């Protein structure tokens, strides 16, 4: 009996990684991922590198029933920043909460106290069980970025488009209150997922020489 051909993993990974595009939530339409697909897509985040297994990030899904509350926060945050905002701008801010079929907030769980200066460099790397203080915010944000990319690529592999959104409203006290954020938590961006209404060409990518050098 003939065995099935081995999948060409390097080629698959290359195609998946290089064909992902940031899709504006305006272009993300129904259907979004099913509950089962979401399990797989969000489960991919758990495979992100996580020094010390601190889980320095979390996600909060905003279901359709709660989008109105997020819309209100976007709208009021804009008015706090700019009391002269026009009706069209306010409506635009409100509408951002309603665009993609799936939307969730990505939250970084950061240190509250910086690592004391003079601490032995690289100590965390030598200890698999790094403590909270040894894993600084840069490392935590790297883990968060990897978790995001795992989600984006998994959703892309499942045939969905994804888009990241941020903006000044994420820094507002109103948003912190809505998501009940702790002092050490920082909202970083939203992940939007849906079917792609209209694709877009790949952006210009940097060349290897733009970001790789060799120590000499």
Ligand X SMILES: Cc1cc2nc3c(=O)[nH]c(=O)nc-3n(C[C@H](O)[C@H](O)[C@H](O)COP(=O)(O)O)c2cc1C
Site residues for ligand X, 18-77, by CB under 6 A, read 21-22, 24
CA gap 55, 57 in Å, rounded? 6
Closest CA to 195 of 28, 57, 25: 28
- Strand, helix or coil at 167? coil
Cα angle 125-106-114, degrees, rounded to a multiple of 5: 40
> Is 90 near ligand X (CB under 6 A)?
no
> Is 158 near ligand X (CB under 6 A)?
no
Residue nearer to ligand X on the CB measure, 165 or 172:
165
> Is 83 near ligand X (CB under 6 A)?
no
> Is 131 near ligand X (CB under 6 A)?
no
> Is 165 near ligand X (CB under 6 A)?
yes
Across 22-41, b (16+ Cβ under 10 Å) vs e yields ebbbebbbeebbeeebbeeb
Q: Measured from the CB of residue 98, what is the shortest distance to ligand X in angstroms? A: 16
> Is 203 near ligand X (CB under 6 A)?
yes
> Is 164 near ligand X (CB under 6 A)?
yes
> Is 199 near ligand X (CB under 6 A)?
no
């Amino acid at each position: 009996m003939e065995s099935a051909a081995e999948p060409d993993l390097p080629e698959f990974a290359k195609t998946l990684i290089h064909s992902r595009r940031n899709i504006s939530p305006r272009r993300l339409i129904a259907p979004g991922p099913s509950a089962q697909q979401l399990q797989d897509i969000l489960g991919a985040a758990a495979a992100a590198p996580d020094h010390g297994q601190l889980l320095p990030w979390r996600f909060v899904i905003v279901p359709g029933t709660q989008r109105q509350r997020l819309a209100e926060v976007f709208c009021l945050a804009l008015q706090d920043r700019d009391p002269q905002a026009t009706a069209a701008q306010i409506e635009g801010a409100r509408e951002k909460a309603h665009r993609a079929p799936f939307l969730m907030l990505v939250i970084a769980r950061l240190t509250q106290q910086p690592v004391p200066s003079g601490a032995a460099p690289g100590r965390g790397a030598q200890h698999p069980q790094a403590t909270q203080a040894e894993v600084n915010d840069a490392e935590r944000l790297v883990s968060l970025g990897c978790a995001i990319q795992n989600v984006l690529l998994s959703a892309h592999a499942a045939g969905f488009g994804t888009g990241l959104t941020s903006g000044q409203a994420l820094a507002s006290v109103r948003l912190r209150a809505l998501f009940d954020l702790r002092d050490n938590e920082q909202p970083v961006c939203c992940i939007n997922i849906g079917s792609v209404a209209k694709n877009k060409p790949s952006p210009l990518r940097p060349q290897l020489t733009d970001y790789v050098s060799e120590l000499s």
